[in-house]
Amino acid sequence: MIFLEHKIGGGFVSFNNIIGNSKVKNILTKSINNKTILHSYMFIGEQGIGKKLIANQFAKMILCENFDINECNACKSCIEFDSGNNPDFINIEPDGKVIKIEQIREFQTKVVEKPINSKKKVYIINDADLMTKEAQNCLLKTLEEPPEYIVIILIVSNENKVLTTIKSRCMKIHFDKIDDEQIKNFLKDKCDVHEVSNNIMKMCDGSIGKCLQIKDKIEDYNKIENIIYNFNNSITKIINESEILYKNKENINEYLEYINVILYNLAISNTNNIRFINSIKVVENVKHRLASNSNYDMCIDYLLFNIWEEINEKNSRG
């Protein structure tokens, strides 16, 4: 999600410019209007659907000296926020794969310091589900007795990894996937991408984050789709036309995932679907081979040859 802000541009990002999740935006706007900001929120939903973007914007509104849901951008707090130097706004990110207890302890020493410019101080804990158990227990102390000026927003994609005691202290806000039409419009308006196949939309799965990851590789995605759709050709021809797979070791996991999406779509739209389901098994097998460092080119050979056999039903079956 981090890249999303950069892609949209350095300018002001109001709720109006963030697509999807209008229910969430309404709840948060109301709480600003009614001055009913709570101490702790948990933003829950899949990766890439705007949780962090909305949290940032919410933080900016809370800190704005004019407490403005519209585009203030003029007060000291807003200006400092946009330049990334607002002392009352702190972002906590995982240190490696987890958020450690030391990070939460450090946060707690800062929490007790009063805000500098604004009436409030906002902390966003990004990927809060990556907090260790110790870190979560430590955070609990602050959630139980928060200083009156503090607002903490926990961003979470896997709710199950968060202790119930933490969840019960937060206002839980669930984010929805973004619908395909909105994603298509976003790609058209912001990224100048006009043609997107249904398979690519399935791959995005309602996530703007994923769709931004994919958008510069649309051509590759289309080539891969072509390979799969032309599996009735001779195996030599297929191998010759699969350079995209042989030459993309660094993206192969993403591309294998995409092949699975295509095969899955073929399986649900064909009556004779066992060959596509078996092909998905081949892809999974190749993922394992790659993970255990098998020879890369041989893995791709295996992939193409075995899918070819499955799709053309060249295997003898009982």
Sites of contact with Zn ion (CB under 5 A): 64, 66, 72, 75, 78
Element (H, E) at 70: none
Could you tell me the two tokens for 1?
Answer: 């999600």
What distance in Å separates the CA atoms of residue 174 and residue 43, rounded to the nearest whole number?
6
Strands (E), 9-104: 40-44, 89-92
Q: Which candidate, 264, 286, 284, 285, places its Cα nearest to that of 275?
A: 264
**Residue 42 phi, psi (nearest 5):** -125, 115
Closer Cβ to Zn ion, 78 or 239, answer by number: 78
Shortest spacing between CB 17 and Zn ion, in angstroms: 17
Amino acid letter at 168?
S
- Residue identified by tokens 């660094």 is 250
Closer Cβ to Zn ion, 149 or 264, answer by number: 149
Shortest spacing between CB 65 and Zn ion, in angstroms: 5
What distance in Å separates the CA atoms of residue 233 and residue 238, rounded to the nearest whole number?
7
Shortest spacing between CB 126 and Zn ion, in angstroms: 23
Shortest spacing between CB 173 and Zn ion, in angstroms: 23
CA dihedral 265→268→271→273, nearest 10 degrees, is 70
Is residue 184 within 8 Å of residue 196, measured between CB atoms? Answer: yes
Shortest spacing between CB 275 and Zn ion, in angstroms: 60
Shortest spacing between CB 132 and Zn ion, in angstroms: 36
Closer Cβ to Zn ion, 14 or 233, answer by number: 14
Closer Cβ to Zn ion, 80 or 127, answer by number: 80
- Residue identified by tokens 């609990």 is 140
Closer Cβ to Zn ion, 75 or 90, answer by number: 75
Shortest spacing between CB 5 and Zn ion, in angstroms: 18
Closer Cβ to Zn ion, 20 or 115, answer by number: 115
Q: Locate all alpha helices (DSSP H) within 34-125, ordered by sequence.
A: 51-63, 76-82, 101-111
- Residue identified by tokens 């602050």 is 142
CA 301 to chain CA centroid, nearest Å: 32
Closer Cβ to Zn ion, 55 or 111, answer by number: 55
